[in-house]
Amino acid sequence: MALLNLQLKDFRNIHHGRLVPAAGINLLVGANGSGKTSILEAIHYLGFGRSFRTHLTGRVIQQGEPAFTLFARVRQHDDSLPVGLSKTRSGDTRLKVGGRAAERLADLANILPIQLIHPEGYNLLTGGPKLRRAYLDWGLFYSNARFFTVWGQFRRLLKQRNALLRQLRPYRELSYWDQQLVSVGEELSLFRQQYAEAIEPVIRLIAADFLPEYDFSFDFFRGWDRQTMLAQVLEQGLERDRGLGYTQSGPHKAEIRIKARGMPVQDLLSRGQLKLLVCAMRLAQGLYLKTQSGQDCIFLIDDFASELDEHKRALLAHRLTELGAQVFVSAIDVAQLSQMITRDNSKLFHVKQGEITETQECE
């Protein structure tokens, strides 16, 4: 997968923008506030249906305009597929895939597997379990054909159970939903455990490049005690759940716990080291996806030089080049991107006050 072209209209400070990227490395250079991160944000929007910078749609739409529109043509095997997304200030969203209206953001996500590395990315390790659960679920979305269906079923059943808990319904009414929740929840948990076990050695392999001084351990926590069946956990916790008004244990509490030298990594590593571990985790997902399905990720890297010394930047650049993925990487100055420049398959774009200019092919 790769973007063959990208068009932006009224997105942040970009009124009309267009670029034809290289299949390999694309360097985006410009001062702070120039719009280079907005290009990464737009690509992320096409792949996830949301921004990585804000949850407020109004902040993404150019001031004075009613909506933003994004359009891209995506390479799929030997063909290309047009995709588009438009969003209004009121939140109305229009999607198009292959020239036809689409209803689900998952239809776009399925076409554009995207990995993001940015200055706040260490939150994957320092933030709540939801972020690490999302990490597992991203991998499963692309590697397990049943995952999205099972994940959706579980979310609906959990919502129904929580509604009944708040209504203080007797257990006989809850038991029907619990039986279904257990069946779907255990399948979802098994998927996550299998993916966690499969991705761990890939992360460890890449992390050994970035942080050779540490040996990392990864423990998948399924969201409830591993010695107890989910049905038993739900029944035993019923009164507690009623008091809280929601289900406290289950797959919706799953995560991966990562340690080094017997300590949680967020308590041991510096922020720069945490960022390197996150880089390894993102690269591992890209490598695993390519190995399993032959599908490439698109990598978005914002502020390439942030907290990475020259040696670590060179390692990251080498790993990305080795993957053969399409990469979009931003920096204030082209000198910060010297490790990313390859003899072929690279392009350099200057961004200034929302204007995008292809300067030259990198040499």
- Indicate left, alpha or beta for 345 from its phi (over 0: left) and psi (-120 to 50: alpha): left
Least confident of 316-320, 337-341, 347-351: 337-341
Cα–Cα distance for residue pair 284/200, rounded to 1 Å: 9
> Quick check: 266 and 254 in contact, CB under 8 A?
no
Count other C-beta atoms under 10 Å from residue 219's C-beta: 11
CA–CA distance, 265 with 257 (Å, rounded to integer): 9
Report the length, in residues, of the chain: 363
**What amino acid occupies position 85?**
L
pLDDT digits (tens, 9 = 90+) for 167-207: 987 778 888 899 999 999 999 999 999 999 999 999 999 99
Question: Which residues are paired to 257 by β-bridges?
Answer: 219
Using pLDDT thresholds of 50, 70 and 90, give the confidence band for residue 333: confident
pLDDT of residue 124: 97
**Is the pLDDT score of 361 beyond 60?**
no
Q: Is 34 annotated as a binding residue?
A: yes
- The residues that bridge with 221 in the sheet, in sequence order, are 255
Residue 197: what pLDDT? Answer: 98
Sheet arrangement for strand 346-352: 114-117, 298-301, 326-331, 25-29, 346-352, 355-361
CA–CA dist 158, 194 (Å, integer):
22
CA distance 248 to 220: 18
Instruction: Give CA 126 to chain center in angstroms.
Output: 16
**Is residue 363 over pLDDT 60?**
no
- The CA dihedral of 334, 340, 344, 345, to the nearest 10 degrees, is -100
Nearest C-alpha neighbor of 285 from the set 121, 171, 168: 121
Kindly tell me if the per-residue pLDDT of 10 is higher than 70.
Answer: yes
33 a known binding residue?
yes
**Residue 246 confidence (pLDDT):** 96
The Cα angle at residue 244 between residues 134 and 190, in degrees rounded to 5: 35
Domains of the chain: which residue ranges?
A: 123-294
Residue whose tokens read 């698109």: 298
35 marked ligand binding residue: yes
Residue-averaged pLDDT of the chain: 92
Name the token pair of 299: 């990598």
Q: Which pTM does this prediction carry? A: 0.93
pLDDT, tens digit (0-9, with 9 covering 90-100), for 282-302: 999 999 999 999 999 999 999
CB atoms within 10 A of CB 92: 10
Q: Any idea what DSSP says for residue 49? A: S
CB 312 within 8 A of CB 280: no
The amino acid that residue 264 corresponds to is P
pLDDT for residue 103: 83
Number of H helices, E strands in the chain: 12, 15
pLDDT of residue 343: 58
Is residue 30 annotated as involved in ligand binding?
yes
**Cα–Cα dist 337/41, whole Å:** 19
Can you tell me the mean pLDDT for 134-158? 97
Q: Distance between terminal CA atoms of the chain?
A: 24
User: Is 342 labelled a binding residue?
Assistant: no
Secondary-structure percent of the chain, ordered helix, strand, coil, rounded to 5: 45, 25, 30
345 annotated as belonging to a binding site for a ligand? no
The pLDDT of residue 171 is 78
123-294 maps to which CATH number?
Answer: 1.20.1050.90
- Neighbouring residues of 221: CB distance < 8 A, sequence distance ≥ 6: 129, 253, 254, 255, 256, 257
Q: Which helix (H) or strand (E) holds 347?
A: strand 346-352
3 state DSSP class of 84: strand
Task: Decide: 216 and 204 in contact? Cβ < 8 Å.
Answer: yes
